[in-house]
Amino acid sequence: EITAPGFIHDVMATTFVLFITSPAFAALGADLARHGLEFCHTGTPTGVLRPDGSHAVLSTDRAANIAALNAIAAGDGDRHADDVGGIERNAGLLFGLLGGSLWSYPTAKLLAGDGWRRGPRGLAAFLGEALVPARGWLENTYRSETIRALWAPWVLHAGLGPEDAFSGQIAKVIAFALEAAGAPIVKGGAKNLLAAFEALIRERGGDIRTGADVASIVQNNGRATAVRLASGETINADKSVICSVTPTQLYGRLLGTDAPKADVEATQKYRYGKGNFQIHYALDKPPAWPGEG
């Protein structure tokens, strides 16, 4: 209750579109549902309302979106179809690159195979177009300022600015994902996703400990073998140590003197992307939007 009595806010809320479309959810979804995980979906995952009252609402129906955007500006709906259709056609290459390790055999194999099908110039053209900033993509593609405004904020969702390389492509990816899978949230709050994972991990013999500050990662012959807590306790790892941390934490603290010198120097020059924030309201009545729909 962070705003007013009786108003419960999901302060760490997010949409889980990338999770429900991932191989992880395909493998674990049924087990997580067994432990109480349920998603709420909407047919209108995003929209934009500008100060002059102009607005656009995106649905999960492509035909409806094409018609709605064409009604705002003739041809803009068709351009939307081209953009999300392009992501659909190139999904194998694009999501393979986004979901894989850059310098790896699978990535090299993926690029080689795509280069064989497209030809070297075709692959280079695809990669070059993918680097276009969002401002260039939006201003050169859409006639309507409202439709540009519909997608521009989603660039920030990925920690990029509208002038950054690749920001146009990531906005297209988000447009495709929102239309294809919506913006699902966890019923009862995001804490229920954690509770389901906790139950599943314990069911499989795992353990979860909180309030245990990891001071360092123990290495042996260049391989992580354990973590050492600030309390002095050492917890051994059977296979690997997985860290969800910033580069500064990993190379500046956890790896200590074992961190490669080149990586430490690169970390010192690392520039963090833009952050996101949420605004929470407690309303005494439903919003009175200045436009229908």
Q: Give the Cα separation of 13 and 226 in Å (integer).
A: 32
Q: Quick one: average pLDDT of 8-20?
A: 85
pLDDT band at 13 (very low <50, low <70, confident <90, very high): confident
Strand partners, 57: 47
Question: So where are the chain's domains?
Answer: 46-181, 209-268
Q: Give the Cα separation of 133 and 54 in Å (integer).
A: 25
Tell me what pLDDT residue 292 has.
72
Tell me what pLDDT residue 187 has.
93
Tell me what pLDDT residue 99 has.
83
For 254-292, what is each residue's pLDDT tens digit?
999 888 899 999 998 888 877 777 888 999 999 888 777
Q: Give the Cα separation of 100 and 253 in Å (integer).
A: 26
C-alpha 9: how far from its chain's center? 22
205: alpha, beta or left? (left if phi > 0; alpha if psi -120 to 50)? left
| Helix count and strand count (H, E) for the chain | 13, 7
96: its two tokens: 């393979």
Quick check: 199 pLDDT over 90? yes
In percent, how much of the chain has pLDDT > 70?
100
What are the distances in angstroms from CA 74 to CA 96, 134, 141, 246?
34, 21, 12, 45
Tell me what pLDDT residue 173 has.
93
Tell me what pLDDT residue 15 has.
87
Tell me what pLDDT residue 158 has.
85
Q: Give the Cα separation of 115 and 20 in Å (integer).
A: 30
More confident residue, 62 or 100: 62
pLDDT band at 176 (very low <50, low <70, confident <90, very high): very high
Q: Please spell the DSSP secondary structure of 43-73, one letter per residue.
A: S--EEEE-TTS-EEEE-S-HHHHHHHHHHHS
Q: Please spell the DSSP secondary structure of 75-124, one letter per residue.
A: THHHHHHHHHHHHHHTHHHHHHHHHS-SSSHHHHHHHHHHHHHH-HHHHH
Tell me what pLDDT residue 206 has.
93
pLDDT, mean over the chain: 92
Tell me what pLDDT residue 228 has.
96
Tell me what pLDDT residue 32 has.
98
Q: Give the Cα separation of 23 and 274 in Å (integer).
A: 28
pTM recorded for the entire structure: 0.84
Which phi and psi (to 5°) does residue 231 adopt?
-75, -10
More confident residue, 290 or 111: 111
Tell me what pLDDT residue 34 has.
97
